Amino acid sequence: MTKKMQIYDTTLRDGSQTEGISYSLMDKINIAKQLDSFGIDFIEGGWPFSNPKDTELFNYFKKNPLKHSKITPFGSTAHPSNPASKDKNLLALIKADTEYVTIFGKTWDLHVREVLKIKLEDNLKIISESIKFLVKKGKRVFYDAEHFFDGYKANPEYALLSLRAAVESGAELPVLCDTNGGSLPWEIKAITEAVKKELGIKDFGIHCHNDLGMAVANSVITVGSGCCHIQGTINGYGERCGNADLVTIIAVLQVKMNEKVVTPAKISELTHLSNYVSELSNMANKDNHPFVGRSAFAHKGGIHIDAVTKNRQAYEHINPVLVGNTTRFVVSELAGKTTLVVKAKELEFDLDKKSKKAKKIYKLLQKLESQGYQFEAAEGSFKLLLQKEFRRYKRFFDLLGFRVIIERRDDNRLISEATIKMRINGKLEHTASEGDGPVNALDGALRKALLKYYPKLSEMHLTDFKVRVLDEKAGTAAKVRVLIQSQDKDENWSTIGVSENIIEASWEALVDSVEYKLLKDFYK
């Protein structure tokens, strides 16, 4: 390597093209600040010519400059009908008032002939004049060679001519793009090495899309060939199948390849960065996301867990703490008593693997899982199970009965009403509540009864509700599993219910969730 590896993030532009993502101006500003704090070198802010939101973003960072990252506008070479000096897109890049700009141009002869509908030599002239104009205006230019690998495979001579036009016109760095995401790692490696040899350049950048699921591999494989600049998005967001995932790339480069990308202190914030961006993007982070996912270092098999408790290297390729993650032991019928003991210890219960209590709890766990319970995703319910077995359980209320009515009213509104009878501290409580659905109504009626006795329940709210049919062949008579996620100011927890009746399963999960909160506060 002749240069430090540069990380160029395009979450705010390419990532925002993900189906389901729509960033507000403040979302973009906050994500940029988080990337800056982490130590990302370049942040592509967007296309200032295309929409007012991106223009406002660049105006904001003119007045509030980032501490580390270089904010970079994105655009295209001049339109064939305009001279570079009068092209609105190029003028908008200059107006963004940044040190660096990024433009893309056509390198695939198919696009020149069938999309731009101009002569091949005219495209070369457009590339050259666009870059020269930007350089003359004092800009440092990253040139994204769009569709470079497809272009090279179709017409290597022309693809190289287009790249040479960019380099000789003053581009700071040529960036080779696998825009359709259809290239294989060995193709990427062979072509990048040929480009270096043919053009006599030492350094280049890479920009890969994930249509074959190989964007990370295609990016990393170029490092040994002279790539000093990798473009991608946090969590691999992007159009179609997404862009190269910078979270995985950064971890691979720094932890596995000893490339200094960010400081050791910052690499430990990688999991936080991934989760932060997923939250602002309103996209659930994948549990099996390499390095940072909730399940990235989760162990379910008993043999695996037994080995990891003796030596983490047995089934973990790195210490998860390096990237801000943690080892998790998943409680299940497959895990064996070792998992039970380790998980109990995590929850501050001292359990001997050979004890009668361990055998009893393990048998109970197997019985419940045969009925459809899965405690790997419901640690709140699992902790309640342990509290009952260890006699750390306190009954806060007794249910005498509940009823749920669903009614369509004259105005076509669908209303759910729940009525609950309970005994709390020896007193009978009879409450009712309406809700958007039966679970919401039950939650309202339960809280109405409990809040005057346990006011701290007001700190808790439900954050997620999932229903899974366990036996689809049984149709409407099938058992369902309900998972409820709850949260207070300190933590979040998940609870589970299983029944042939979705209301009963929901009630079971709801009661576990409330009891978890009450016991948590009781033992403080």
pLDDT exceeding 90 applies to what percent of the chain?
A: 60
Q: Are residues 253 and 361 in the same domain?
A: no
- Report pLDDT for 476: 60
Name which residue leads in pLDDT, 153 or 486: 153
Residue 432 phi, psi (nearest 5): -140, 150
Average pLDDT of the residues in 222-248 = 95
Which value, in Å, is the radius of gyration of the alpha carbons in the chain?
A: 29
Same domain for 410 and 498, yes or no, is: no
- Here the CATH number for the domain that contains residue 521 is 3.30.160.340
Distance (Å, whole) CA 320 – CA 292: 8
Of the three residues 413, 432, 453, the one that is the final residue of a domain is: 453
Question: Does 245 score more than 90 pLDDT?
Answer: yes
Bridge partners of residue 141, in order along the sequence: 101
Query: Sheet harboring 461-469: ordered strands across?
Result: 461-469, 480-487, 492-499
Assign 339 a pLDDT band (cuts: 50, 70, 90). Answer: low
> Same domain, yes or no, for 403 and 387?
no
- Domain stops at, among 210, 242, 262: 262
Q: Which of 13-17, 105-109, 238-242, 473-477 has the lowest mean pLDDT?
A: 473-477
Mean predicted confidence (pLDDT) in 180-198: 95
Say if residue 130's pLDDT is above 50: yes
**Does residue 405 share a domain with residue 515?**
no
Amino acid at site 439: V
Q: Confirm if 484 and 457 have CB atoms less than 8 A apart.
A: no
For residue 312, what pLDDT is reported? 63
In a domain, 256, yes or no: yes
User: What local confidence, expressed as pLDDT, does residue 381 receive?
Assistant: 87
Highest average pLDDT, of 122-136, 453-467, 474-488, comes from 122-136
135 pLDDT higher than 90:
yes
Residue 412 belongs to domain with CATH number: 3.30.160.740
Q: Do residue 129 and residue 228 come from a single domain?
A: yes
Burial of 477 (0-12, 13-18, 19+ CB in 10 A): exposed
Q: Say if residue 449 is in the same domain as residue 475.
A: no
- Alpha-helical runs (H) found in 117-199: 120-136, 148-154, 156-168, 185-199
- The DSSP-derived string for 90-111 is HHHHHHT--SEEEEEEE--HHH
Look at residue 285 and tell me if it is in a domain.
no
* Residue 252 counted as domain residue: yes
Residue 287 lies in a domain: no
Which letter does DSSP use for residue 355 in this model?
S
Q: pTM of the entire structure? A: 0.70
State the pLDDT confidence band at 264, using cuts at 50, 70 and 90.
confident
Tell me, yes or no, whether 251 and 377 share the same domain: no
Q: Strand, coil or helix: what is 94? A: helix
309 in any annotated domain: no
136-183 residue pLDDT tens:
999 999 999 999 999 999 999 999 999 999 999 999 999 999 999 999
**pLDDT score at 1:** 35
CATH of the domain at 119: 3.20.20.70
Same domain (yes/no): 65, 188: yes
Query: Comparing C-alpha atoms, which of 467, 447, 452 is closest to residue 514?
Result: 447
In this predicted structure, the answer to whether residue 186 has a pLDDT above a threshold of 60 is yes
Q: Nearest Cα to 124, choosing from 87, 160, 86? A: 160
Domain count, the chain: 3
Residue 270 lies in a domain: no
For residue 331, is pLDDT > 60?
no
- Indicate whether 283 belongs to any domain: no
Highest mean pLDDT among 45-49, 152-156, 297-301: 152-156
Range of the domain at 413: 397-453
Residue 2's pLDDT is 42
- Categorize the per-residue pLDDT at 415 as very low, low, confident or very high, splitting at 50, 70 and 90: confident
Query: Are 402 and 477 in the same domain?
Result: no
In whole angstroms, give the CA distance from residue 220 to residue 457.
49
- Portion of the chain with pLDDT greater than 70, in percent: 92
Pick the last residue of a domain from 213, 229, 262: 262
Mind listing the pLDDT tens digit for each residue in 379-410? 888 888 888 888 888 899 999 999 999 988 78
Q: What is the mean pLDDT of residues 447-461?
A: 93
Instruction: Specify whether 201 is located in the same domain as 62.
Output: yes
Residue 306 is predicted with a pLDDT of 61
Same domain, 38 and 97: yes
Instruction: State the DSSP string of 41-81.
Output: SEEEEE-TTT-HHHHHHHHHHHHS--SSPEEEEEEESPPTT
* Structural domain contains residue 273: no
Residue 295 CB-density burial (10 A; 0-12 exposed, 13-18 middle, 19+ buried): middle
Which residue would you say has higher pLDDT here, 356 or 173?
173
In this structure, are 101 and 196 located in the same domain? yes
Instruction: Return the residue matching tokens 């700071």.
Output: 172
Per-chain mean pLDDT for the chain: 89
> Residues 6 or more apart from 173 whose CB is under 8 A from it?
142, 143, 203, 204, 205, 228, 229
| Mean pLDDT on 232-247 | 97
